Structure 1
């Protein structure tokens, strides 16, 4: 069997960038509506806390040195979406905080209200350590995401999209 040659077109980067643009567009629509989420929609956004451009309070960085998940549902404010990043106000243990998160730092985006999710390869890959989800002040429980290895619709009817291009080292 012959080996597949390395692509001179960075398909994996192009796809990851396009899928992150979905997150930006959704958050932009929420910002344009005055920060109101339509219907029962709410989001779990997982991101790498040590990624370039991430700005979170030191107490959160200490608690979540690698990765954390935030919930955008009832208690968030000042959502601002820019081309490459977003910022949002959240409360953690009743302490208000502002987080700035570049889209390239996001590793997962889930809207459990409609069983939709995206999982991303971390830009500038870090080790895939198991992480503890953040518990910002929200009444929702974190949604389950699928670990499916390719783009597909899962058997349970959810729409979790995982894009995994095996990187050569």
Structure 2
């Protein structure tokens, strides 16, 4: 017998990705129905491809994040609106209010660190080399104003392990 699995005529990967993105929609929909209130200590990191079809963000953010961007829904967000294909939300970047429209198909990661829950999705478009950027106003910081996590190069990056718990 061969160790290679036969090619499937059923697109299981696509079906699973679509179902997991529906989880994100259901979670965000429940937050929307509760008037935008997050229960307990829940908060979300949502990473998405900024150049994906259907993404609508201010041009300054698209220039600053030409490939991928992570937003944090925790304390300062408004006008969360969820439909079957995606969501829109108001966030402030450098004290400038902005509306973001993000289709679920553009999301590459969804994390709720309060309960150690995370989903990672296959990218919807080709990867583009990331560009360095300044800290956004909605980045999480400590009480002293320091970023919650810093990578070795000093940038404000949150690393999430999507592997199984040991």
Q: TM-score, normalised by structure 2?
A: 0.83
The alignment's C-alpha RMSD in Å is 2.0
> Which residue in the other structure is 1:97 paired with?
98
Whether the 8 Å CA contact 1:70–1:136 is kept in 2: the answer is: no
Alpha-carbon distance in structure 2 between the residues aligned to 1:14 and 1:62? 32
> Which residue in the other structure is 2:42 paired with?
41
Residues 147 and 36 (structure 1 numbering): CA distance in 2 closer, same or farther, change over 3 Å?
closer
Alpha-carbon distance in structure 2 between the residues aligned to 1:78 and 1:37? 13
Would you say how many aligned residue pairs link Structure 1 and Structure 2? 150
> Which residue in the other structure is 1:127 paired with?
127
Q: CA deviation at 1:139?
A: 4.1
- 3-state DSSP class of the match of 2:28? helix
Runs of 4+ in 1 over 4 A off after TM superposition: 128-134
Does residue 26 of structure 2 align to residue 15 of structure 1?
no
> Which residue in the other structure is 2:161 paired with?
146
Q: CA deviation at 1:154?
A: 2.0
Q: Which runs of 5+ in 2 are unaligned?
A: 142-147, 150-157
1:48-94 residue CA offsets vs partner (Å, 9 max, x unmatched): 00000000000000000000000000000000000011000000000
Q: CA deviation at 1:147?
A: 5.1
Q: Which runs of 5+ in 1 are unaligned?
A: 156-169
- 3-state DSSP class of the match of 2:18? helix
